[in-house]
Structure 1
Amino acid sequence: MGFWDSPRHGGNSFNRLPPSAEYYQALSDYGASWVRLSWDKWRPARRDFLLGDADQYTGLAQDDLRTLISNLDRAHAAGLKVVITPLSLPGMRWSQNNQGRFDDRLWQDKRWWAQSAAYWRDLAAALKDHPAVAAYNLINEPAPEKHGGLAEHADAQAMHAWYATHRGTARDLPALYTQLVAAVREVDPRTPIMLDAGWYAAADAFTYWPHALADQRLLYSVHMYEPYAATSAPNLSRATPLGYPGAVPFGGQAQHWGAARVADYLRLPLAWAERVGVPRQRLVVGEFGCMRRLPGCRQYLDDVLAALGRQGLHWAFYSFREDNWDGMDYELGTAKVPWRYWQAIERGEPDPLPRQATPLFEPIRHRLAPAGPE
């Protein structure tokens, strides 16, 4: 847990191919200390990588486990710590591996909770002694509220009322986490566990949690893409994209978003943590980013990072050298990628594009560097 006692900065790895040693070394050379690693795009031995089958968990896929461990070895050799981050659980297959459909089964029936607990018990038992592992991130961007009747970015009163109604049901995220944490602790009493907030890890979604969980080796994580209407891919398809800074739809109304609004929004998890007694060094911004080709992206990255730096929070940018989607790969600058990038994806070949530190990447790069400010 001591790794997390001072601010740690890193990147996300959501690649389609298991990253090479050179990949991890490049991230480390920038000054990153950790990588948030997901494997759900890797070629699986069965239906779902490592999990085997999200429709019926029966044990870890051993060939997949060996692939994951070899990646942990490469990250460790580069001096990086790793946060283990599945995108799928039993009863909750990641939508991009599910024909684009949101899988709500985990949030409807607690029988999937038992299978998810078994999965995490097995995974923790297999990885607990690996020196690279810095935390288990139990679920990436859970959203029990999505089909449960709570509007995204609802006000605090609506959130508390919703949770009062759903507490104890299959949509009770803190209760699910309690069961998963207990399963991990049966085999691994030491490794930190990272918990994403609900509504896709929104920074306002811890608001309805009445208290922190009892385990003292927990980290609480949010993701930062707000205002999503401006930072995301759909904005690129508008005839006139929404600008940042500027007026952007959020929570059902137009708001002006700039440095001050970004900082205010990111104070919400801090306010919750203070209320329930979670130390600031246990808060993480596990993802943040914006579409690199949008005007204002560099300013947005700078505003987010400045706010995180003032609060002394852990963070990991999205994403580092992603080999199947170029939208937030800031080393590519602001130009379109050449056709050979997409050809490599079609052929299942490694990403052919060189990377370099660009002006767009500068807000991240100079804060990753050990001597950098904030």
Structure 2
Amino acid sequence: MNKYRFRSDYFLESVKNGIVLQSMAFDFSSNTSQISVKSMPDFCSYDVSVCICSFKRTHHLPQILDSLWNGQTFKGNVEIIVWNNNSSRSHTVSEICDKYIVQSNEQKSLQLINSSKNYFCAVRLAMPQLMQSQRLLICDDDCIPGPEFIDFFVSKHNTYPEDVLCLRGHLFLEHKLNEQNPSNFWLDYENLRFVSDERPEQLVHFIHADVCLITKQALQECSSIPVPDSSYALVDDYWMSYVLNHKFNRKLRKLTTSGVPEDYIIKRTEDSDKIGLALYTRPEVIQTKVRVYIHHMLQGWPHWESNDENITQLDEKAMKVLTENKKHFWDQLFVGFNISSEISAESVEVLAEMGVKCVRIGAVGLGDKVDYEFKAFLNDKDEEMKRLKQTISLLKSKGIRVVLTLKKELSSPEIWEFIAKNLYSEEYVVAYDLINEPFTPLESQYVFEDNDPGMSELMVNYTEMIESIRLVDKMTPIIIESSYWANVDTLSNLSIDKLIEMDDNIMVSFHFYDPQLLTQRRRNQNRYSFPSQIPDFENIKWPKMTTIDGNFIDAKFLSAIQWSQKFNVKLVLGEFGISREVSGAHQYLDSIMKACKTYAISSFIYSFRDEEWDSMDYELETDVSTGSLKQELSQNILMQTIINGIRDNVN
């Protein structure tokens, strides 16, 4: 027996020279008794690669690189690849990049490619062979990355690992190819919608790759399909959108910058849309887009997911009757509940026994299951619509009507048009509440100005959503809400007269939790009761004390109804409530329901059986220590008050 084989140095030498380590990229120490696993610098792996394609905007390159190199919150390893398409500026670009190249290491590196030819944005398709990570983050030379640029996209990629992610894009509406004049598609926008950065997250058909995250595998998939025309390099992101969605079934997801501080993700430069400089403004690009459009339409893409066979078609007479029925419902007075879309049959039975005639769906959260109600409309809208129709059918079986609302991040003309197209013929869907608790950027910072520019933006959003709904549903009433989270005091900020001119089937909603120092558990902390005197501000030496009682509530409602009468518009109270443990909570609820009866305002209590938030689950009564234990109705003053209010608010 050769005992040498059992020695440790023989074992180490065998491992070092064997096929396993020899097939891997390792550096080996000159000391044969030690193996170093330090990765080779030229072939190390990064968490993300950032590609910058530069041409004539080299003046922005220093700021872009400084932000990527020094200003990111992202803690992972980053590789930056600068591809200079302008040979006349090779020296300039090299000077800008040199200081980063010499600092390159395994945590951060910069590679520069100076091209003798302008390959336009087709250089993105060359990245799989150059990048040393599994995901490519594209940043064009007219986009200045903010401090959360990489973090934002990588975080979203972890949520949607197979999707292509962008900040803006185009949505194609369902239509047929106009063979006589196909170029009109990209000119008149009749069947085309541009979806900008701040619009809600949604799936699109055409990603704009100026700011975009795409995986290495997706790039390889795209490169595997022959490009029919070399000029498609001018619109490479359009071609990629078609190939990845149609050929490889990848979702194209437009993220939203809404709610993120300005410039935290990107800031577009002033010359971003300069005619002649911006590629999309050039005639040859516009012509190429038309050619790509013809190509993909003849290939049967996009395939619109909505199934018209499941949408009921109504004749003119039936539409007139349905319109009258939906309007007539609002001539009634009622008190309803805000509920979850996942309400059980047993819970619906309880609502019916209480005498509830209408519920509002879309504002009650689902805890850890999703970020907010109906978010699946962004991923699989047909499946989400199927679930929603099942819930509506369940409520309908007990004679309960439905108002639908969407969270601000979800509400868009495209999603509302899809909802309306599928539900316009459903008699028991009696209103679309466009945005749940909207607010302006200034209001989110508690800054109040008479000419808040955010109000103009909100009214534009309302107008666009109303127009989209009315393309497919001219019957269902539409509800808009006041700003500052639908506060009653901001009703006068609405330019309601302009909306009424375009559509007379509109109502206005407000929410009432006033004052929040009383009604909100986190702020009250068992300090204030109803009725009582409550300060207007906390933590000041001499606050103004206000008596909060039935008269206070009545005065607020009187002001609201006077405003509505001025414009002859119906008011709805979309939400009201109070933390159940507040002393006098039942009196607060009773005062609101009495005010609603006095001024003929239909209302929705917040909320019924919200499994993730017990503060306003009134079946649990006033004792917080009992946890989720429901109290007998005969001993529950809150539920007795609510049921009496439901039965009393009927005309």
Report the TM range for the smaller structure's normalisation. 0.7 to 0.9
Normalising to structure 1: TM-score of the pair? 0.76
Q: In structure 1, which of residues 142, 154, 158 is the aligned counterpart of residue 438 of structure 2?
A: 142
* Partner amino acid, structure 2, of 1:68: L
Structure with bigger gyration radius: 2
Q: Contact between 2:575 and 2:604, CA under 8 Å: does it hold in 1?
A: yes
In the alignment, is residue 222 of structure 1 matched against residue 510 of structure 2? yes
- Partners of 1:63 and 1:283 lie apart in 2 by 33
Q: Which residue of 2 aligns with 1:87?
A: 407
SS in 2 for 1:324: coil
Over 3 Å counting, the alpha-carbon distance change for 1:246 and 1:180 in structure 2 is same
1:95-114 Cα distance to aligned partner (Å, 9 max, x none): xxxxxxxxxxxxxxxxxxxx
Q: Which residue of 2 aligns with 1:347?
A: none
Q: Which residue of 2 aligns with 1:77?
A: 397
Q: In structure 1, which of residues 246, 253, 260 is the aligned counterpart of residue 551 of structure 2?
A: 260
The offset of 1:85, in angstroms, is 1.7
Over 3 Å counting, the alpha-carbon distance change for 1:44 and 1:67 in structure 2 is farther
Q: Contact between 1:76 and 1:131, CA under 8 Å: does it hold in 2?
A: no
* Partner amino acid, structure 2, of 1:78: K
Q: In structure 2, which of residues 589, 592, 596 is the aligned counterpart of residue 304 of structure 1?
A: 592
- Partners of 1:50 and 1:259 lie apart in 2 by 36
* Partner amino acid, structure 1, of 2:595: A
1:27-73 Cα distance to aligned partner (Å, 9 max, x none): 121111100012774499998664447xxx5x752222221111111
Normalising to structure 2: TM-score of the pair? 0.45
1:247-294 Cα distance to aligned partner (Å, 9 max, x none): 22337843221111111112222122122232xxx2111111101111
Q: Contact between 1:194 and 1:221, CA under 8 Å: does it hold in 2?
A: yes
Over 3 Å counting, the alpha-carbon distance change for 1:337 and 1:274 in structure 2 is same
In the alignment, is residue 231 of structure 1 matched against residue 519 of structure 2? yes
Q: Which residue of 1 aligns with 2:475?
A: 190
Over 3 Å counting, the alpha-carbon distance change for 1:49 and 1:244 in structure 2 is closer
- Partners of 2:591 and 2:332 lie apart in 1 by 21
Q: In structure 2, which of residues 329, 334, 346 is the aligned counterpart of residue 22 of structure 1?
A: 346
- Partners of 2:370 and 2:642 lie apart in 1 by 37
The offset of 1:26, in angstroms, is 1.1
The offset of 1:337, in angstroms, is 5.6
Over 3 Å counting, the alpha-carbon distance change for 1:135 and 1:7 in structure 2 is same
- Partners of 1:359 and 1:244 lie apart in 2 by 15
- Partners of 2:607 and 2:437 lie apart in 1 by 15
Q: How do residues 66-145 of structure 1 correspond to structure 2 at under 5 angstroms?
A: 66-90=386-410, 116-144=412-440
Q: Contact between 1:288 and 1:316, CA under 8 Å: does it hold in 2?
A: yes
1:322-362 Cα distance to aligned partner (Å, 9 max, x none): 222211122221122645x4xxxxxxxxxx85763621222
1:200-250 Cα distance to aligned partner (Å, 9 max, x none): 11111111224332211111111110011111111443xx51222122233
Q: In structure 2, which of residues 311, 326, 334 is the aligned counterpart of residue 8 of structure 1?
A: 334
Aligned pair count?
A: 316
Q: Contact between 2:401 and 2:428, CA under 8 Å: does it hold in 1?
A: yes
Over 3 Å counting, the alpha-carbon distance change for 1:332 and 1:260 in structure 2 is same
SS in 1 for 2:608: coil
The offset of 1:309, in angstroms, is 1.2
Over 3 Å counting, the alpha-carbon distance change for 1:365 and 1:162 in structure 2 is same
Q: Contact between 2:619 and 2:639, CA under 8 Å: does it hold in 1?
A: yes
Q: Contact between 2:488 and 2:556, CA under 8 Å: does it hold in 1?
A: yes
SS in 2 for 1:26: helix
1:111-139 Cα distance to aligned partner (Å, 9 max, x none): xxxxx111111111122222321111111
- Partners of 2:372 and 2:588 lie apart in 1 by 35
Over 3 Å counting, the alpha-carbon distance change for 1:129 and 1:43 in structure 2 is farther
- Partners of 2:519 and 2:369 lie apart in 1 by 35
Q: How do residues 321-332 of structure 1 correspond to structure 2 at under 5 angstroms?
A: 321-332=609-620
Q: Which residue of 1 aligns with 2:638?
A: 360
Over 3 Å counting, the alpha-carbon distance change for 1:303 and 1:42 in structure 2 is closer
Q: Contact between 1:367 and 1:373, CA under 8 Å: does it hold in 2?
A: no
SS in 2 for 1:327: coil
Q: Contact between 2:366 and 2:611, CA under 8 Å: does it hold in 1?
A: no
Over 3 Å counting, the alpha-carbon distance change for 1:316 and 1:50 in structure 2 is closer
In the alignment, is residue 162 of structure 1 matched against residue 451 of structure 2? yes
- Partners of 1:127 and 1:60 lie apart in 2 by 17
Q: What CA RMSD, in Å, does the superposition of the two structures yield over aligned residues?
A: 2.8
Over 3 Å counting, the alpha-carbon distance change for 1:39 and 1:232 in structure 2 is closer
Q: Contact between 1:43 and 1:49, CA under 8 Å: does it hold in 2?
A: no
Over 3 Å counting, the alpha-carbon distance change for 1:297 and 1:148 in structure 2 is closer
SS in 2 for 1:130: coil
* Partner amino acid, structure 2, of 1:126: N
* Partner amino acid, structure 2, of 1:356: L
- Partners of 1:232 and 1:356 lie apart in 2 by 24
Higher relative contact order (CA 8 A, sep 6+): 1
Q: Contact between 2:372 and 2:407, CA under 8 Å: does it hold in 1?
A: no
Over 3 Å counting, the alpha-carbon distance change for 1:247 and 1:355 in structure 2 is same
Over 3 Å counting, the alpha-carbon distance change for 1:47 and 1:306 in structure 2 is closer
Q: Contact between 1:40 and 1:86, CA under 8 Å: does it hold in 2?
A: no
Mean Cα deviation higher: 117-126 or 358-367 = 358-367
Over 3 Å counting, the alpha-carbon distance change for 1:75 and 1:248 in structure 2 is same
- Partners of 1:236 and 1:308 lie apart in 2 by 25
In the alignment, is residue 290 of structure 1 matched against residue 578 of structure 2? yes
In the alignment, is residue 31 of structure 1 matched against residue 355 of structure 2? yes
Which structure has the highest helix share of the two? 2
Q: Contact between 1:60 and 1:123, CA under 8 Å: does it hold in 2?
A: no
Q: Which residue of 1 aligns with 2:533?
A: 247
SS in 1 for 2:435: coil
Q: Contact between 2:417 and 2:472, CA under 8 Å: does it hold in 1?
A: yes
- Partners of 1:316 and 1:47 lie apart in 2 by 22
Q: Contact between 2:348 and 2:394, CA under 8 Å: does it hold in 1?
A: yes
- Partners of 2:371 and 2:592 lie apart in 1 by 37
Q: Which residue of 2 aligns with 1:320?
A: 608
- Partners of 1:185 and 1:197 lie apart in 2 by 21
Q: Contact between 1:305 and 1:363, CA under 8 Å: does it hold in 2?
A: no
1:79-99 Cα distance to aligned partner (Å, 9 max, x none): 100001222434x7xxxxxxx
